[in-house]
A and B are shown apart, each in its own frame.
Chain A
Amino acid sequence: MNVIYQFVAGPLAWAAFILFLSGIFLRMIQLFVKVNQPEKFLLHYFSLRYGLRSIIRWLTPFATTNWRKHPVFTVVTFIFHGCLLITPVFLSGHVVLIDEAWSLSWWTLPDGLADLMTLIVIGSCVFFGIRRIVRPEVRFVTDASDFILLVIVAAPFITGFLAYNQWFGATWMTIAHMLSGQILLAAIPFTRLNHIILFFFSRAYMGSEFGKVRHARDW
């Protein structure tokens, strides 16, 4: 067991982080190469002011028409992304391990709150899954990969919740938790989860086109 734990916590963890970071780096290079070659005019449209305006507006709940048109989806989306990003970074168990490895530590969430935020992430994934089945306009653009991505995102939170609460054997659940987190990290650059980075570029481009080219407001 210890050998498996050490392999997953050691070399596999490094491999996942290297894939995650180098994958994102490659994605960005690929983006610039693609934009720069056949569609160089896109760069000409780019505007920092309108790009930032659009990013900020779309990161503000209910600021855009589309957010206002779907209030439930908007609330779930913002709470989901908040919990998804905040919980792992400020989880006491994670900070303890980082402190042991590199003597770096920071403020941590109370465990009960972290548990609740984890359940919110899992519940939101269920919500997004049901939405993909129930809403015809969403079902139309849905295929199996959308559900696989939801499972990849939810898995580290499900296994983390079970490992912390020790419901089905803490040891193996901890290993499953690390593995599922590594799959998520490694999947980010190579799937639509790359919106973690590419959101900013596509939003900035659309904002630029609306503001600088069409002189229209950013919807």
Chain B
Amino acid sequence: MKKSIILIVMLLSVAALLAGAALCQDDLEYLDNEAFEDPRRPAVPFSHDTHNQTAELDDCAQCHHVYDEDGQKIEDESSEDQACADCHGLDDDEQKPGLMKAYHLNCKTCHISSRKGPVACGQCHPK
């Protein structure tokens, strides 16, 4: 009797854990990596609103930036109506880093200077 109660409690706990994990999965969003023809790393889990709340980011142009032809960031403009891949090609060009490098530099530079957020490969690209 005692054993079966323990067994039922254990099964219920596992079920609760799995249900929790499944619910979390629903909330998980990924950065769009469709522009990459053959991505070598898994897509990056990224929840836009949670990230910005946690990081206390109000300035959209922090990530959705606009640069002029001289390579200077235009302070009062932002580009959240565009995809990153609209400007950044797969390879570097004379003025802009390629798409992967743009993501890496944009995320990591901020995470390093603010000393918060992921910086190692596997932190953003979990298998």
Q: Tell me the chain B residues, 73-127 only, with Cβ under 8 Å from chain A.
A: 92, 100-101, 104-105, 108, 111-112, 115-123, 126-127
CB-based contact A174/B120 at 8 Å:
yes
The answer to the question of A145 belonging to the interface, with a C-beta cut-off of 8 Å to chain B, is no
Looking across the interface, which residue of chain B has its beta carbon closest to that of A174?
Answer: B120
Q: Which of A99, A103, A171 contacts B120 (CB 8 A)?
A: A171
Interface residues of A, CB < 8 Å — how many?
A: 21
Report the minimal beta-carbon distance from A13 to chain B, rounded to whole angstroms. 14
Looking across the interface, which residue of chain B has its beta carbon closest to that of A103?
Answer: B92
Q: Which of B104, B116, B122 contacts A2 (CB 8 A)?
A: B116
Complex CA distance for A164 and B125, rounded to whole angstroms? 10
CB-based contact B119/A2 at 8 Å:
yes
Report the minimal beta-carbon distance from B55 to chain A, rounded to whole angstroms. 13
The answer to the question of A3 belonging to the interface, with a C-beta cut-off of 8 Å to chain B, is yes
Given contacts A2-B116, A170-B126, contact A100 B104 (CB under 8 A): yes
Complex CA distance for A171 and B92, rounded to whole angstroms? 28
Q: Tell me the chain A residues, 21-72 only, with Cβ under 8 Å from chain B.
A: none
The answer to the question of A5 belonging to the interface, with a C-beta cut-off of 8 Å to chain B, is yes
CB-based contact A92/B40 at 8 Å:
yes
CB-based contact A166/B122 at 8 Å:
yes
Report the minimal beta-carbon distance from A131 to chain B, rounded to whole angstroms. 34
CB-based contact A175/B120 at 8 Å:
yes
Looking across the interface, which residue of chain A has its beta carbon closest to that of B119?
Answer: A5
CB-based contact B101/A100 at 8 Å:
yes
Interface digits, B29-62 against A, CB 8 Å rule (1 contact, 0 not)? 0000000000010000000000000000000000
Report the minimal beta-carbon distance from B41 to chain A, rounded to whole angstroms. 9
Among A2, A3, A93, the most chain B Cβ lie within 10 Å of the Cβ of A2
Looking across the interface, which residue of chain A has its beta carbon closest to that of B123?
Answer: A171
CB-based contact A6/B112 at 8 Å:
yes
Report the minimal beta-carbon distance from A8 to chain B, rounded to whole angstroms. 10
The answer to the question of A165 belonging to the interface, with a C-beta cut-off of 8 Å to chain B, is yes
Given contacts A2-B119, A92-B40, contact A165 B127 (CB under 8 A): yes
Complex CA distance for A170 and B41, rounded to whole angstroms? 14
A9 cross-chain contacts in B, Cβ below 8 A: 119
Given contacts A96-B100, A166-B127, contact A174 B122 (CB under 8 A): yes
Given contacts A111-B40, A174-B120, A174-B121, contact A100 B111 (CB under 8 A): no
B118 cross-chain contacts in A, Cβ below 8 A: 171
Measured CB to CB, the residues of B under 8 A from A are 40, 92, 100-101, 104-105, 108, 111-112, 115-123, 126-127
Measured CB to CB, the residues of A under 8 A from B are 2-3, 5-6, 9, 92-93, 96, 99-100, 103, 111, 163-166, 170-171, 173-175
Beyond contacts A93-B121, A171-B120: 4 other A-B pairs, Cβ-Cβ < 8 A, are A2-B112, A2-B117, A2-B119, A5-B120
